[in-house]
Structure 1
Amino acid sequence: MAAAKPTLTDSLSFCLAQLTAAAGEGLGGGKDTATNETPLGRALLRERERETEHEWGRSRERETQNPKQVPGSELSAQNLTQGLNSWTALHEGIAQTLDLTSGPLQRLLPNLKCPVAPPSTIFLTNTYLFNLSDPATFLRSLMRETRRGRTLKRPNYLAVTILQCVKTDSIQNRTARALGNLAMEPESCGDIHSAGAVPLLVESLTACQDSQCLQSVVRALRNLADSPQHRLALAQQGAVRPLAELLAAAPDPALTLALVRALLELSRGCSRACAEQLSLGGGLGPLVSLASHPKKAVREATILILANLCAQGLVRPALGNAGGVEVLLGELRRRRGPNGAGPASQQPLVRAVCLLCREAINRARLRDAGGLELLMGLLRDPRASAWHLRVVAALVGFLYDTGALGRLQALGLVPLLAGQLCGDAGDEEEEGREAASWDFPEERTPERAEAGSFRSLRSWLISEGYAAGPGDISPDWSPERCPPPPPPPEPAEPTSPTLGPTSLRTPRTLRTPGRSPAATSEEPWGREGPALLLLSRFSQAPDPSGALVTSPALCGLLAYVTGSPGPPSPRALRILARLTCNPACLEAFVRSYGAALLRAWLVLGVAPEDWPTLRARPVRRQHRELGEMLLQNLTVQAESPFGVGALTHLLLSGSPEDRVACALTLPFICRKPSLWRRLLLDQGGLRLLLSALTRPAPHPLFLFFAADSLSCLQGLVSPTVSPALPPTIPLDLDAPSPCLYERLLGPAPIPAPDLHFLLDSGLRLPAQRAASATASPFFRALLAGSFAEAQMDLVPLRGLSPSAAWPILHHLHGCRGCGAALGPVPPPGQPLLGSEAEEALEAAGRFLLPGLEEELEEAVSHIHLGPHGGPESVGEVFRLGRPRLVAHCARWALGPGQCPRKRALALVGLVEAAGEETGPLTEALLAVVMGVEFGGKGSSLDC
């Protein structure tokens, strides 16, 4: 059976006309005494019954369960007549057919404000206005018409009016639900705030007792907190404290979930008003208790609320007293576990834990609950690099907690801090002034922007008595360098200007408004400030050697000093100076090769990352001066009675590694001849160092250090006399000596050759028998003795190439320095082993021609170890195994004018070429260092 078509009496206009007539009749005062109902109430009741009886009412109920999006197209006149036949057409019909200014709808509103209207009439009016259709969709339709230029006031006032006039729980529930739905749209949310709904909702929180109604009100407040401005407005209008009080009253589970969800939204970017109200409402204790709630949604929302509250310093002590420190630490530890969440979920908890370090009472709780280990785990985790600056700034709070510092040092904080000095950690997030430590509640923020880490540090310094107030401290302040006393008042009469200490010092920063005059001359405070402050605190210990005088820590400090784009912080320089002046650190500097590292990095400009490449790094004058000053400090310690005893003990009784390190370091820090001669020469320190060259390197720069140490020792042994140079021979390429052998090579040789040497290649080389026989005992026996070759005119020479035989023939005929010895020598960069130069040297030795051997060796040295040769050629020359060439290689490597990088690379090549046969290399280096000829007889070589 087909559904009945709607009639005119089913139209919306007819319904409203009936209600309008009844409303006018009701204004006349007529009332049914039997039912105690006004005509308007009876009409509303009839319309409600008609709504549920008609098909369009049942259709609306079905579509409420699965609502459709309202299409944006306009409706025709026929659609308007049949508007009650469709859920969607009903709302569009409301918006397009009613006279929104003075129509029947406006006549219904006064009934909601009438204090004498019967409850049933008020209820039915509210039902008709808000249940005739979905309240949110109904009000959205009115809002669309308002934005299109209609003259009706903002439709949110309709719900606000109902909320203000009707205090029945059911009506309050419906109205709050409608406001919560509307607040989900940003524009509607702003309209609701402007309409003044927040105070009414807050009033409902305290007046209503129904759980359903309270949930609707709490949901409306949560949806109204959609932006920082709206959250602040809600907190300032007192919306947080009633929520906290309700939470403290232990409500039912559904209301508890609604409350924590609302408080989570309100606490985002937690404002001071929000924190104050939540604390005054007694919500901190219940929130800490709910952190262990069995329901995951409640538990996670509560933990995030606690994390948000840590942004306000005024509430952090109370939060710690309530147990919030342990809760946040436990949750962060769980999320960082194997089955924990990702870094994004850890971020608010890391921020909260770091903020908790700003109060002394919370630092004690955090330390006792294992928070130091957790923070150190964050610093070690490369995935948490974005939080490293924040964590280091939080650890500054433990600056004078001796127990905590000891624990942090044992956990390896110092190398991590050194790595932070020049690492690529993320920027620290700025904190508001409310996040400052509550140990000093009256703290104020200077006018210029300051880093968040400084705010927490400043309040702690004031509480510890390092400054009288916030105005005395700037971000450039440090506890190691207190501001100078104010200058005396100027005399009344003018005096001649004089230059004093203060007038010679140039301020580092300019005076800015709102800053203390004492802060203008203080050092800068940058991203490395917290790490440097902690390192400085560690360096002030009686014996900081175990933590700071290590290779990672020294590398971090030196990398910061030399790599800083601007002037480095003076605190870093003071740390280095303090360490080198501490006698307790002397042995640590020796064991860790710290003195050699200072010289290499600062004086020579070679950092570990520069080795073994030949990358050029300019050495700044201030860096060189710093390095020389630090080495001078170590020299003072080494030459003191304590230092002499410590170095002697290390060299004679230390482990093998310590003995080598001591022998290597002595030339850098000992200037007294009696001391270094006794330790290095008399007690075998030099031979110990030389014998360690071929062992596994204990330090990445060991061979560089060794080459530099041997060069320095050579300068100590012979400060004015240059090392022994190779004997000079007539080998001048610019003006060579006359060649005597060329006369035998022309078409008419004079005298004519009486002998020819036959090579394996078939080449015949002319020669004079008498000259050849007198040049060498070998050829004397061969050509003038009883051998058959004495009677031959064509004598074979086996195993010689033409290039190798060429310098031999020249030498046999009296040529010295004619340049023939250079012929078989390959150019630099080509191997010497297996070359014609090696063949010529072998033949010169076989034919008993020592002069030719020396000349060939000098030719090899001239080409490969001369101005055009490089450190890579030193090893090639050494592989020939010639004693004189070995001596030349040692002289080249340890030459006083040699580049430190090339010297070290040459030593590396020598060590690789020597292999397991280290004797010749050791003796050659020893001879060069001592300034004697290799193989000479001197007592210095018997050290």
Structure 2
Amino acid sequence: MAAAKPSLTDSLSFCLAQLTAAAGEGPGGGKDPATNEPPLGRALLALRTRHIKAAEGIERFRARGGLRPLLALLRRTAAADPTPSQAGSASAPSPCASADSSPGPAPAAEAPSPPVRLRKTLDLALSILANCCTEGACRAEVRRLGGILPLVTILQCVKTDSIQNRTARALGNLAMEPECCGDIHSAGAVPLLVESLTACQDSQCLQSVVRALRNLADSPQHRLALAQQGAVRPLAELLAAAPDPSLTSALVRALLELSRGCSRACAEQLSLGGGLGPLVNLASHPKRTIREAAILILANLCAQGLVRPALGNAGGVEVLLGELRRRRGTNGASPASQQPLVRAVCLLCREAINRARLRDAGGLELLMGLLRDPRASAWHPRVVAALVGFFYDTGALGRLQALGLVPLLAGQLCGEAGEEEEEGIEAASWDFPEERTPEQAEAGSFRSLRLWLISEGYAAGPGDISPDWSPERCPLPEPSEPVSPTPGQISLRTPRTLHRPGRSPAATAEEPWGQEGPALLLLSRFSQAPDPSGALVTGPALCGLLAYVTGAPGPPSPRALRILARLTCNPACLEAFVRSYGAALLRAWLVLGVSPDDWPAPRVRPTRRSQHRELGEMLLQNLTVQAESPFGVGALTHLLLSGSPEDRVACALTLPFICRKPSLCRRLLLDQGGLRLLLAALTQPVPHPLFLFFAADSLSCLQGLLTPTVTPVVPPDMPLGLHPPSPCLYEPLLGPAPVPAPDLHFLLDSGLQLPAQRAASATASPFFRALLSGSFAEAQMDLVPLRGLSPSAAWPVLHHLHGCRGCGAALGPVPPPGQPLLGSKAEEALEAASRFLLPGLEEELEEAVGHIHLGPRGGPESVGEVFRLGRPRLAAHCARWTLGPGQCPRKRALALMGLVEAASEEAGLLTEALLAVVIGTESEHKGPRLDC
């Protein structure tokens, strides 16, 4: 079979020549395009179906200069149609369809009329241009040649569906370039595209128009311009008309783009166009892209308060919660994909009707899960602010408290969570619309709210709060001071701000409202319960409040101070403060400046120590008033006698901090055994990170309460414990001409011979009297061996035997601070003094050990070393050093830690030593005090 004869249209040069001639840029260019339609039509059809679709065909067409005559042809053809056609899809057969299906010219009998022929040319030219504009270089070339304005003109003048379709497709492709997009907006194409949405009936044409509008929404400014020119409502109306799947997909994608950073105009038009219900239905669409786009549109709409109630009525709350729950599942999406849904759910909490739906749909549990998730820390401020919306919902607050909200709120006060994103005024609660006027009648719900505020003391009268008040826009003013349940109670006092009638408290109150504001407001609400102890008087909650009060970069919010004051003034919280070591924590953190993070290694703290100390003393005084009341005495007695072992220890430790009556402390701690319980607990596993610090401070306070006349600490430069040095009576025996001459020598294991006087040595100790004057062989020997004794240990023994008291010989075997005493020459000397029955030397050596290790140069680390020697007198010295008045609290606690570690199996010795110091019985000991 013979090969087909090549056609002229197979040549790109021929087609470009025909195009150039028809555009008026070549020979014979002055002819009307309609008169030259058959060869031009064939050339355009070849360009569209053959040359442009070929590999790199668009690039060759552009490089050969085809865009310029193509745009010129569009201008001429559009200008040649004198009367714009209003025919829709039901008019004459589509020239686009005939051009696509006919490879050659139409038969003469069916030759179309000139206007139809022009539209066919226009249709083919627009199709070529739209295809070319899929590439960036062509888009830039079309913009440079001024090709956007002719397209807008065609869109305005030629209303045939196929022409509108091709033109919208070309504009949509051009809009993919930001510069072209701006030019299309400036040329006024948006109103024409919006008009096409309402006038066109063809699905393909509508899809092209919708896509063009989507591509034109490439920036916040362009999205706002589209919404203001009415582009959103026709899209919503089309979506509500249940179009075919392809158009539905295009509409959803366009609405998703237009709703980014959703403007008020966008939300209004989408709602008025009836798009909320269809979007909610599409959230369960089987096609994933449509389903996810619909959900994100609903999430974007939540940024506008005016549409959120209607969105909730359409079922949007359940849809958004379900999708967020799904994405947070074990196989859920990344945190970035959850962010718009978290924001939407939090915004839905601003209206009462949506809060009810959210609560019933399990939203509270979902929000609590977000607060517990460290990966969601950037959203925590937003979630906490959303929970403020449930401020008056008692049921929801009870549920949140049961889910553990309070410790999470306390942790938010000083956490490193991300800052909450600022919302525009359009996102404010629609329960209090901005356009409300004072002349409008008050709603029943506001009247009820105002009556509640007045009854609870938050407002003095009806004029104190305006109808525009809401918890999120104005922090709730609290009572100026907590009601004192017992006369004489001390509490924080803040001046009450009076509000003029008709003004919001936000206009006059100076309550700080930083990132911690929402958390503090909710904590304040919980603290106003009759018995808030179970939630707020716990270790985590108190630590969070105290960390905020002491760690805030500026002055802390007065609301936090009022919360602490309210809790310490509530009798129902007394036992909780005891059980949780709350009173001890208040004293350690505020009065002494030691927090759990500050122990045992100190860290840099704020400089407002005096304010913190004053606050701590005030709060402890509040607890003292409670503890010394008849109710408090009964509660503490019951706790100490009938509580669990842990509660009894906590009660014994806390009593010295909150009880100022010595008689009550003696009865509870001494007569009823509370002190021994505390001392026995020192060697047990600690129930609190600061337990040993609390215990040292408690024992010191108790000592000051029970024995207030204890001798004050002597400054380091005047150490007690050593008298002025006495003359040495042994030294004369050591010279070359000893006077008197020694009549005895002691032989050490090292071979060293030490001179001695037999008479003096025999009278110094029963041991040496029996050895040197009795029936033992040593009584007849001039060289008496002393076994197991080194020269360093023997030196103070020989001095003591010859009457030296306080000559300094006892200091010789004692190592300096920082070196261990166990195994040292000092321990050997002490054992020798005990073995040789020299109690005076024992006491002198112990005094020397105490002077060096517990004196001015000694520190808390030396206390345990001294205690390890296991001597009751030194144990008493250690206890006195630890609990001595004026001792640094940190050193006291470190010393107690060392004592507990050193005690191990000697717990009884430690208990008796501390007990004697606390109750003052050790003061009868004749040994000197070694406090520093």
Match status 1:271 vs 2:260:
no
Within 2, Cα distance between the matches of 1:614 and 1:9? Answer: 87
Instruction: Pick closer, same or farther for the CA change 1:460–1:860 going to 2, 3 Å.
Output: farther
Instruction: Pick closer, same or farther for the CA change 1:812–1:166 going to 2, 3 Å.
Output: same
Decide which of 389, 406, 410 is 1:414's aligned counterpart. 406
Determine the structure 1 residue equivalent to 2:648: 659
Determine the structure 2 residue equivalent to 1:44: 37
Query: C-alpha deviations, 1:375-398, integer Å up to 9, x for none?
Result: 000000000000000000000000
Determine the structure 2 residue equivalent to 1:896: 885
Determine the structure 1 residue equivalent to 2:79: 110
Within 2, Cα distance between the matches of 1:752 and 1:730? Answer: 38
Determine the structure 1 residue equivalent to 2:14: 10
Residue 145 of structure 1, CA deviation: 6.2
- The more displaced of 515-524 and 816-825 is 515-524
Within 2, Cα distance between the matches of 1:830 and 1:685? Answer: 37
Within 1, Cα distance between the matches of 2:504 and 2:80? Answer: 66
CA contact (8 A) 1:475 1:525 kept: no
Which residue type is aligned with residue 48 of structure 1?
Answer: G
Residue 478 of structure 1, CA deviation: 3.1
Residue 342 of structure 1, CA deviation: 0.7
Residue 45 of structure 1, CA deviation: 2.8
Match status 1:533 vs 2:544:
no
Match status 1:377 vs 2:369:
yes
Determine the structure 2 residue equivalent to 1:744: 733
Within 2, Cα distance between the matches of 1:140 and 1:345? Answer: 30
Match status 1:855 vs 2:851:
no
CA contact (8 A) 1:474 1:516 kept: no
CA contact (8 A) 1:439 1:460 kept: no
- TM-score, normalised to structure 2, is 0.86
Determine the structure 1 residue equivalent to 2:569: 581
Within 2, Cα distance between the matches of 1:412 and 1:731? Answer: 55
Residue 130 of structure 1, CA deviation: 1.9
Determine the structure 2 residue equivalent to 1:592: 580
Match status 1:195 vs 2:174:
no
Residue 690 of structure 1, CA deviation: 1.1
Determine the structure 2 residue equivalent to 1:873: 862
Within 2, Cα distance between the matches of 1:914 and 1:243? Answer: 82
Residue 125 of structure 1, CA deviation: 2.9
| Superposition map of 1:417-816 within 5 A | 417-442=409-434, 467-468=465-466, 477-480=475-478, 519-614=507-602, 620-722=609-711, 735-816=724-805
Determine the structure 2 residue equivalent to 1:238: 230
- The more displaced of 254-263 and 610-619 is 610-619
Within 2, Cα distance between the matches of 1:730 and 1:285? Answer: 87
Indicate the SS of the match to 1:795. Answer: strand
Indicate the SS of the match to 1:41. Answer: coil
Decide which of 203, 213, 226 is 1:211's aligned counterpart. 203
Which residue type is aligned with residue 431 of structure 1?
Answer: E
Instruction: Pick closer, same or farther for the CA change 1:681–1:619 going to 2, 3 Å.
Output: farther
Within 2, Cα distance between the matches of 1:625 and 1:482? Answer: 19
Query: C-alpha deviations, 1:97-127, integer Å up to 9, x for none?
Result: 79x8xx7765433124444884412322313
Calculate the aligned-residue CA RMSD, in Å: 3.5
Within 2, Cα distance between the matches of 1:128 and 1:348? Answer: 44
Residue 748 of structure 1, CA deviation: 1.0
Within 1, Cα distance between the matches of 2:229 and 2:129? Answer: 32
Query: C-alpha deviations, 1:880-906, integer Å up to 9, x for none?
Result: 111110111111111011111111111
CA contact (8 A) 2:867 2:878 kept: yes
Determine the structure 1 residue equivalent to 2:121: 125
Within 2, Cα distance between the matches of 1:771 and 1:596? Answer: 58
Indicate the SS of the match to 1:758. Answer: strand
Gaps of 5+ in 2: 86-112, 438-445, 454-458, 460-464, 482-492, 927-932
Instruction: Pick closer, same or farther for the CA change 1:107–1:667 going to 2, 3 Å.
Output: closer
- The more displaced of 239-248 and 117-126 is 117-126
- The more displaced of 416-425 and 166-175 is 166-175
Within 1, Cα distance between the matches of 2:335 and 2:190? Answer: 36
Residue 916 of structure 1, CA deviation: 2.9
Query: C-alpha deviations, 1:781-835, integer Å up to 9, x for none?
Result: 1111111111111111100111000000100111100000000001111111111
Determine the structure 2 residue equivalent to 1:60: 51
Within 2, Cα distance between the matches of 1:565 and 1:216? Answer: 57
CA contact (8 A) 1:757 1:764 kept: yes
Residue 178 of structure 1, CA deviation: 0.8
- The more displaced of 666-675 and 862-871 is 666-675
Match status 1:887 vs 2:876:
yes
Instruction: Pick closer, same or farther for the CA change 1:68–1:851 going to 2, 3 Å.
Output: farther
- The more displaced of 210-219 and 380-389 is 210-219
Indicate the SS of the match to 2:922. Answer: coil
Instruction: Pick closer, same or farther for the CA change 1:848–1:173 going to 2, 3 Å.
Output: same
Which residue type is aligned with residue 292 of structure 1?
Answer: S
Indicate the SS of the match to 2:755. Answer: strand
Determine the structure 1 residue equivalent to 2:88: none
Instruction: Pick closer, same or farther for the CA change 1:205–1:711 going to 2, 3 Å.
Output: same
Query: C-alpha deviations, 1:609-666, integer Å up to 9, x for none?
Result: 1112355756711111111111110111111111111111101111111111111111
Instruction: Pick closer, same or farther for the CA change 1:517–1:585 going to 2, 3 Å.
Output: closer
Instruction: Pick closer, same or farther for the CA change 1:220–1:822 going to 2, 3 Å.
Output: same
Which residue type is aligned with residue 553 of structure 1?
Answer: A
Within 1, Cα distance between the matches of 2:645 and 2:136? Answer: 86
Residue 463 of structure 1, CA deviation: 12
CA contact (8 A) 2:389 2:471 kept: no
Within 1, Cα distance between the matches of 2:246 and 2:900? Answer: 79
Indicate the SS of the match to 1:756. Answer: strand
Decide which of 282, 300, 308 is 1:308's aligned counterpart. 300
- TM-score, normalised to structure 1, is 0.85
Determine the structure 2 residue equivalent to 1:81: none
Indicate the SS of the match to 1:422. Answer: coil
CA contact (8 A) 1:602 1:619 kept: no
Which residue type is aligned with residue 550 of structure 2?
Answer: T
- The more displaced of 426-435 and 605-614 is 605-614
Residue 864 of structure 1, CA deviation: 0.6
Query: C-alpha deviations, 1:163-184, integer Å up to 9, x for none?
Result: 1111111111111111111111
Within 1, Cα distance between the matches of 2:583 and 2:289? Answer: 59
Determine the structure 1 residue equivalent to 2:169: 177
Instruction: Pick closer, same or farther for the CA change 1:126–1:104 going to 2, 3 Å.
Output: closer
Overall identity of the aligned pairs, in %: 78
CA contact (8 A) 1:440 1:463 kept: no
Instruction: Pick closer, same or farther for the CA change 1:842–1:376 going to 2, 3 Å.
Output: same
Which residue type is aligned with residue 242 of structure 2?
Answer: A
CA contact (8 A) 2:728 2:807 kept: yes
CA contact (8 A) 1:113 1:165 kept: no
Within 2, Cα distance between the matches of 1:584 and 1:903? Answer: 33
Gaps of 5+ in 1: 28-38, 71-85, 446-457, 484-503, 938-943
- The more displaced of 925-934 and 860-869 is 925-934
CA contact (8 A) 1:437 1:460 kept: no
Which residue type is aligned with residue 14 of structure 2?
Answer: D
Which residue type is aligned with residue 797 of structure 2?
Answer: I
Determine the structure 2 residue equivalent to 1:490: none
Residue 40 of structure 1, CA deviation: 4.3
Instruction: Pick closer, same or farther for the CA change 1:800–1:104 going to 2, 3 Å.
Output: closer
Which residue type is aligned with residue 440 of structure 1?
Answer: F
CA contact (8 A) 2:132 2:138 kept: no
Which residue type is aligned with residue 120 of structure 1?
Answer: V
Residue 678 of structure 1, CA deviation: 1.3
Which residue type is aligned with residue 678 of structure 2?
Answer: L
